[in-house]
Chains A and B, each alone.
Chain A
C-alpha cells in the first residue's frame, strides 16, 4: 500500500518556464512533507519542506504548496533551468522523533535549453 504517490513518472519543460511536480498522500497522520532532488549515482539532496500548519513555503525559485483537504502537495520551480534536470522525490513524515520518511516513486524532470 503506497502512502505517497507521484503519478507522473516524467515531466519535460522548456528552460525559463515553470515546472510543476505533484504528489498525493493517503495517510492523514502525515504532517511534514519534503522534496528531494536526485542526480544519477548520487544520494537524494534535500530541497524544501513544509509542515502541515502552512499551505505554502518558498525558497528562491522553489515553492511548495500543501492542500491538506485534498492530501496533495506540489513543487513549483520558476524559472526552470537545465541544471534542475533530475529525479524529484516527494516524502512525508509523521511528527515523532523517529524521523522516518515515506517516499514517492519519483518524477524525472527534464529541462530543455
Chain B
C-alpha cells in the first residue's frame, strides 16, 4: 500500500550500460517527477509529467529518457551510463490542479556506476 514506490532501491552497474528505474504511484495524482540528489545532497528536479505529457525537462543529458505509459507510472531510462550519473534518484507525485501541491516521494534509488 506504498503511495509512491520505485524499484530497484539499489543499482550497481558498469559504465556504458543501459538501465531503467521504475516508479508507480497509487495516490491518483496527475503529475509525476524525477528528482536527482547528487553527492552534495542537493535535490534537483529532472523531469515532470502531467497526465502522461512531459512538462518539465531540466537541462538533463538526452541519455536520460523518461517514459510515462499511464498517469500512475513514470519510468526513467538511462543509456550509456557514466561515472557522474552516480546519485540517488527520487520519483515523486503530486496533484497540481489548482496550483499549490505538496509532492510525495518514493524511497529513492541509489545508482552507483563503476
**Which residues of A pack against B, CB within 8 Å?**
31-32, 34, 36, 41-46, 49, 51, 87, 89, 93, 95-103, 105-106
Contact = CB atoms under 8 A, between A and B. Distances in A.
Given A93-B100, A99-B31, A100-B56, A43 B106 contact: yes
A9 B104 CA distance: 24
B45 A46 contact: no
Contacts of A51: 100
25 contacts: A31-B100, A34-B102, A41-B108, A42-B108, A43-B105, A44-B43, A44-B90, A45-B105, A46-B102, A49-B100, A49-B102, A89-B43, A95-B99, A96-B96, A96-B99, A97-B96, A98-B48, A98-B96, A99-B103, A101-B103, A103-B42, A103-B43, A103-B44, A105-B40, A105-B42
Nearest to A95: B99
B26 to A, nearest CB: 15
B94 A99 contact: yes
Given A32-B100, A51-B100, A105-B42, A100 B105 contact: no
Interface of B: 4, 31, 33, 40-45, 48, 50, 55-56, 90, 92, 94, 96-97, 99-108
A93 B31 CA distance: 15
A64 to B, nearest CB: 12
B23 to A, nearest CB: 11
Contacts of B45: 100-102
Nearest to A102: B45
Contacts of B99: 32, 95-97
B22 to A, nearest CB: 15
A100 B102 CA distance: 10
Question: Which of A45, A51, A93 has the most CB atoms of chain B within a 10 A radius of its CB?
Answer: A93
Q: Give the most central of B4, B43, B101, B104: most A CB within 10 Å.
A: B43
Nearest to B102: A46
Given A99-B48, A105-B40, A43 B107 contact: yes
A45 B104 CA distance: 7
